[in-house]
Structure 1
Amino acid sequence: MTPGARVRHAEPGDAAGLHALFAEPGAFAATLQLPYPSLAAWEKQLRDLPRHVVQLVAEVDGDGVVGAAGFEVFQSPRRRHVANLGMAVAPAYRGRGVGTQLLEAVIDTAERWHGVRRLELEVYADNAAAISLYGRHGFEREGLAREYALRDGAYVDVLLMARRARRL
C-alpha cells in the first residue's frame, strides 16, 4: 500500500490534478481518454457533475492526485441497477495499492449507496495488471470486443468485465 494515500470525492479544485494524471501517456494509453485533455474540460466536468456520476480521486501528500476512479449509473429505468466503471492510476503509483483503494471505494459506494447490483467495465485485453486487479475484486470476464478502440494508431481488443453485487 502507498503510505498516506487518501481516497475522497473529487472536487472542482482537483481539475488540475486530474488534468495532469490523464495527460500522462501511460494513463491515456491505458484508458479510453484522449491525449492532451483540456484543463477547462476537467473544470467543467467537475463543476457540473450529475448526481448519477461519482468521481473519486486518490491523493498523496506532496504528489497530489495520483489516481482516479468513478462510475456512472445508467438512467434507463430498466438499467438503473447498473453502472459503468472507469479508473486510472499514475504510472509511478501502479502496483502500490492505489488502484485497490480506489476500486474498493467505488464498489462500496456503488453497491451500498447507489443500489448498483452490477458494475461493468471495459479493459484493454493486454492490460494484465488491471485484469488481475479487477478479478481479485470479483469482476468476471464476460466477453471480448475485437478492435474496440483506437490506441496509438491501432485498433485493439478489450475485455468486457462485470461484477455482480453480493450484498443486496
Structure 2
Amino acid sequence: MSDGIRIRHAEPEDAAGLHALFSARDAYAATLQPPFPSQAAWEQALADPPKHVVQLVAIDGVDGELAGAAGFEVFRNPRRRHVANLGMAVAAARQGHGIGTQLLRAVIDTAERWHGVRRLELEVYTDNLAGIALYEKHGFVREGHARGYALRDGAYADVYLMARIAEVPRAP
C-alpha cells in the first residue's frame, strides 16, 4: 500500500517533481496536460498560485520523491462558486499502491470542508478504467459521455463527464 506517503500543498520546490511527473508520456496521455511541459511554467504557477486553485502533492516518505499530484480549481463565476474541477496524476511506477486514493480523499476533504465546494467535476478518458473505478469508489457518477472531447496522440478521444455532489452539512 502507500505507507510513508505524505500529502501536502505543493510548494515552489516541487516544480521539478511536477515537471517530471507531467513529462511522462503516461501522465500527459491520461490527462489534458500537453506533452513536453515547461519546468519554468510549473515554477511560475507555484510561486504565486491563485487563491481559487489548490495543488496537492504526494511525497514518498522513504525517498522524498514526488509520487503524484491532484488539484482543483474553484470556479469564480458567482453562480458556479460552489463548483470545482479536479485533475490528478500518479507516477506510472507508483500506480496501484493507494496513492490516488490518498490524493483524492485529500482533495475531496479540502474542497468540500474548507472551500465550500458542493459539486466536484472531472473529465476522464473512457479507456481509463482504473481512474473511473477510483472516482466511482469515492462517489463520483457519470453524467455524460463527450465524444471526440480531446486530441490525444493524433486522434480525438472520448471522455466521461463525472461529478460528485456533496451533502450540505448542517451546523449543530
TM-score over 0.5 (shorter chain): yes
- The one-letter code sitting in structure 2 at the alignment partner of 1:115 is G
Structure 1 residue 53 corresponds to structure 2 residue 53: yes
Q: Give the structure 1 partner of residue 88 of structure 2.
A: 87
Provide the residue aligned with 2:37 in structure 1: 37
**SS at 1:78 equivalent:** helix
1:167, CA displacement in angstroms? 4.3
Aligned length: 168
Residue 67 (structure 2) aligns with: 66
Alpha-carbon separation, structure 2, partners of 1:152 and 1:58: 27
Report what 2:18 is aligned to: 18
Following superposition, the deviation at residue 63 of structure 1 comes to 5.0
The match for 1:7 is 7
Secondary structure of 1:3 counterpart = coil
Aligned to 2:166: 165
- Aligned-partner Cα distance in 2 for 1:92–1:5: 14
Unaligned runs of 5+ in 2: none
1:114 maps to what in 2?
115
Percent of aligned positions with the same letter in both sequences? 71
Give the Cα separation in 1 of the matches to 2:59 and 2:128: 23
Runs of 4+, deviation exceeding 3 Å: none
TM-score normalised to the size of structure 1?
0.98
CA deviation after TM superposition for structure 1 residue 3, in Å = 1.9
Q: Secondary structure at the match of 2:21?
A: helix
- Measure the CA separation in 1 of the matches of 2:152 and 2:140: 24
Q: Deviations over 1:13-52 (max 9, x none)?
A: 0000000000111111110001111010000011121001
Question: In structure 2, what residue type is equivalent to 1:56?
Answer: L
Structure 1 stretches lacking a partner, 5+ long? none
What is the rounded CA distance, in whole Å, between the counterparts of 1:71 and 1:163 in structure 2? 13
Displacement of 1:166 after TM fit?
A: 2.0
